Structure 1
Amino acid sequence: MILYQSGFLTLDYDPATDILFVEWPDVHEFLVPEINQTLQILVDHLKSYDIKRLLVDASQAALEIPPQEYKEVLKEFGLNLMTTRLEKLARIITPNPAREHNVEEAKQEVGLTLRLQTFPDKQEALLWLEEEG
Structure 2
Amino acid sequence: MIIYQSGLITLDYDPATDILYIEWPDVQDFLVLEIRQALSILVDHIKSYDIKKLLIDSSRASLEIPGDEYKEVLMEFGKNLMNTRLEKLARISTPNAMRENKVTEAQQDVHFTISLRTFTEKKEAISWLKGKVAEEA
1:53 matched to 2:62? The reply is no
Residue number in structure 1 paired with 2:10: 10
Aligned partner of 1:80 in structure 2 is: 80
2 CA distance for matches of 1:12 and 1:102?
Answer: 26
**Could you tell me the TM-score, scaled by structure 1's length?**
0.97
Query: How far apart are the structure 1 equivalents of 2:34 and 2:102?
Result: 20
- Unpaired stretches in structure 2, ≥5 consecutive residues: none
Deviation at 1:23, TM superposition (A): 0.6
Distance 1:94 1:34 in 2: 20
CA contact (8 A) 1:27 1:65 kept: no
Q: CA deviation at 1:50?
A: 0.1
Aligned to 1:92: 92
| Cα drift, residue 31 of structure 1 | 1.5
Question: What's the secondary structure of 2:17's corresponding residue?
Answer: coil
Aligned to 1:124: 124
TM-score, with structure 2 as normaliser: 0.94
Divergent runs of 4+, >4 A: none
SS at 1:56's partner residue?
strand
Q: Is there any run of 5+ residues in structure 1 with no aligned partner, and where?
A: none
Other structure's SS at 1:69 match: helix
Q: CA deviation at 1:89?
A: 0.2
| Residue 25 in structure 1 maps to residue 25 in structure 2 | yes
- Give the residue type in structure 1 aligned to 2:28: H
TM-aligned CA deviation for residue 27 of structure 1: 2.4
Distance in 2 separating the partners of 1:84 and 1:26: 26
Output the amino acid matched with 2:119.
Answer: F
Contact 1:90–1:125 at 8 Å: present in 2 too? yes
Contact 1:19 1:51 in 2 (8 A): yes
Measure the CA separation in 1 of the matches of 2:3 and 2:122. Answer: 20
Q: Deviations over 1:13-65 (max 9, x none)?
A: 00000000001132211111111111000000000000000000000011111
1:101 alignment counterpart: 101
3-state DSSP class of the match of 1:117? strand
User: Displacement of 1:112 after TM fit?
Assistant: 0.4
Tell me how far apart the structure 2 counterparts of residues 25 and 83 of structure 1 sit (CA, whole Å).
25
